[in-house]
A and B are shown apart, each in its own frame.
Chain A
Amino acid sequence: MSLNARLKPALIAFGVLLAMSIQPQAPAQAQASTPLSVFLAHVRPVDEASRSGLKTWTDVFARDIDIAVRNASTTSFATTRFELIRSEVSQPPTLPELRVMQHGTRSIYVANSLGAAGVNGATRVSSMVYLGDLKGDLQEPYIQIDQSVRTADYTAQKDALTVLTLYALANEAHRLGRTPASCRLLQRASTVARGIDLQRMRLNAVNEALAKSGRLRC
């Protein structure tokens, strides 16, 4: 399938979601009050059973991200609106597509898809996280998390998503000059990260970014 053919439906969906979610803002307030969006998509599997299962797990991730954002918005960002927008897509967007989609916006894009069966046939969910301008001290704005969801790794997968969400929110707070709020979010992200083996998940870069941001800001 050509890039254009893949890009078109994704861009249309993204445009519709943006139109639904972002209200016109007064120019003077635009920077502070433009909502920060978390797009949580799941890639439609071919069969109905897998589709239902993946949606269930995405529901779990959505709840966790919602709670992370909710705690941040009530205690850290009184003036910033956050939105969690869910969708189902036929294919995960590619990196260039995500760059185009997120250009000029402040958002986190998470696409969950079913991976190949892991050990003992356990279901694997692959989460592609794109932080864009909210990457902070991460070298790359793109993180791939690939874990079994039928074992103890399930907790690691959802906690890793929470860490990345909190880190993105911390970077947004930092951008807005809300350093104490940024530090609180970094502390929260670091605390969640301590409970998961980021090294085994090949997410060392996340630990390093958390430590570096903490050193520089707090």
Chain B
Amino acid sequence: MNLRALAALAATLIAWPTFGSAGEAMPRKTLRSPSTAVVATTGDEPNVLVAVPNLPEGELGVQIAALFNLQVWRTLRRAPTPPGVSFGSATAIWSHPEDPTVSTAQAADDVAERLAAQMVLWGVAHRYGDGVVVDMNLTIADEAVRRRRPSAAEWSIQIEDRRLSLMLPEGVYSFAPVVLSQRSVQTYSSPSALQLCQARRLPCRGPRVEGGMEAKLHDGPWSRVKLKRNDQIGWIYVPPLENRPDPADFTSGMVCYYRGDFIRAAEFFERVAASPASGELIRSEAAALHVAALARSAGDDVPNALLRYRGQNLESLKLHQAAVMYYLARWRALALEAARPVIGDQPPPPAGLLSDEALGAAAHHFRATAAYLDRDDPWRKGVERIMRSQNFAPPLWFRLPQRNSASSP
């Protein structure tokens, strides 16, 4: 295995990929590479920073970190259509091979704090037969870090003078063990994956990628990059895995969510929620985040998704909270539509009835959260205030504890 080549690549990946080939022509800000791998970028700060420190198993740990970092990095895109909307920038970094490894939740918290990284993807790996078993976790940084690096992670809706906010990603997400073939692990450490090619053709004899790189375009297994050390532009080959591991998909979804790329986030979370191998806990977390991302992307598929997750027994407190946020925002939009002055002979839109239905759906999902939120929970109080202000007082059944089973709020 070419560890030196991997270490060079591992210095830092500045993730600023484009969206499709058209993105290449878009104006672009310059991000400076960190002088060392685990030091955050100086100058222009990225909006989203995800750290992928080395796993503790020596050379294998470095390889696994490289694999997951590249998997996440390659999913980032630069701007949505229509143009004019910016996701800001994102940086995926991991440690230099000689840096301390991270194998505990506390150490991950420390990395997040030190780098002001919103998330840290960390774990451990074990050789098993002809493969490698990897236990990965995603730590979401606490509020202190969120204040230092504002992002789209917090979901707020405004209803008249009342603001309701929900922070869905929180804590540590533990993924079901992933089995990677030795071939996948080895492939990511081969020189061809780490060399700058002039054309999309292998083998190539370009220079090694050292000192970090900025992605300009992802196209299939190839990424067009600019080297940080000398601005040289070329292609690198990142071979696809047989199966994308769920931790990479979930982390990619989370990065997209933090960037405000909700359409892309919804795709990743939906994929994880549909994957039985993810484990029930991660599936239910992904389902809630899928609904949140759908709702925030102004998608109209939220009711279907809610129905589907109900059928799959993936309902949770967070999913119901996301549903309440969606229906309140929908109700507000419909109410505003209904209040629009009628022009000419046009009949008024039938939004009044739909508006009431949306409010009723919000109340239904709010009711499902009753047993799980303290009475002084800020989000719960916020919803109650909004409903009360619309003469939709929390009904008696909300105030009384529900006798539900623990698994189906």
Residues of A within 8 A of B (CB): 56, 59-60, 63-64, 66-67, 70-71, 74-75, 150, 154-155, 159, 178-181, 183-184, 186-192, 194-195, 210-211, 213-215, 217-218
Contact = CB atoms under 8 A, between A and B. Distances in A.
B176 interface: yes
Contacts of A179: 371, 401
A70 B105 contact: yes
Contact of A75 (B128, B170, B402): B170
Interface stretch (B110-118, B152-160, B232-240, B278-286): B278-286
A190 B172 contact: no
Contacts of A211: 405-407
Contact of A194 (B280, B403, B409): B280
B135 A187 contact: no
B280 A189 contact: no
Given A213-B406, A217-B406, 15 more contacts: A60-B124, A66-B104, A74-B170, A154-B177, A159-B279, A179-B371, A187-B316, A187-B372, A191-B407, A192-B280, A195-B281, A211-B405, A211-B407, A214-B404, A214-B406
A71 to B, nearest CB: 4
Contacts of B225: none
A190 B407 contact: yes
B171 A195 contact: no
Contacts of A71: 171-172
A218 B280 contact: no
B99 interface: no
B158 to A, nearest CB: 26
A187 B407 contact: yes
Interface string B25-63: 000000000000000000000000000000000000000
Contacts of B176: 155
| Main secondary structure on A side of the interface with B | helix
Contacts of B393: none
Interface of B: 103-105, 124, 126, 128, 135, 137, 142, 170-172, 174, 176-177, 279-281, 284, 313, 316-317, 371-374, 377, 401-407, 409
Contacts of A213: 406
Contacts of A194: 280, 313, 407
Contact of A191 (B105, B124, B281, B371): B281
Contacts of B170: 74-75
A75 B171 contact: yes
| Main secondary structure on B side of the interface with A | loop
22 contacts: A59-B124, A60-B135, A64-B174, A67-B174, A70-B105, A70-B172, A154-B177, A155-B177, A179-B401, A180-B372, A180-B374, A187-B372, A187-B406, A191-B316, A192-B280, A211-B407, A215-B404, A215-B405, A217-B371, A218-B372, A218-B403, A218-B409
Contacts of B174: 64, 67
Contact of A74 (B171, B313, B373, B374): B171
B405 A214 contact: yes
A216 to B, nearest CB: 8
Residue of A59, A60, A64, A184 contacting most chain B CB atoms (<10 Å): A184
A69 to B, nearest CB: 9
A186 B137 CA distance: 22
A63 B401 CA distance: 34
A179 B371 CA distance: 8
A63 B409 contact: no
Contacts of A195: 279-281
Residue of B126, B401, B407 contacting most chain A CB atoms (<10 Å): B407
A45 B285 CA distance: 39
Contact of A63 (B105, B126, B281, B373): B105
Residue of A181, A213, A218 contacting most chain B CB atoms (<10 Å): A218
Contacts of B142: 74
B90 to A, nearest CB: 25
A7 B197 CA distance: 67
A155 to B, nearest CB: 6
A186 B406 CA distance: 6
Contacts of B316: 187, 191
A11 B313 CA distance: 45
Contact of B402 (A184, A210, A218): A218
Nearest to A216: B403
A76 B406 CA distance: 16
A191 B280 contact: yes
B372 A183 contact: yes
Contacts of B377: 180
B124 A187 contact: no
A64 B284 CA distance: 18
A6 to B, nearest CB: 32
Contacts of A188: 281
A210 B126 CA distance: 33
Nearest to A68: B174
A29 to B, nearest CB: 20
B406 A183 contact: yes
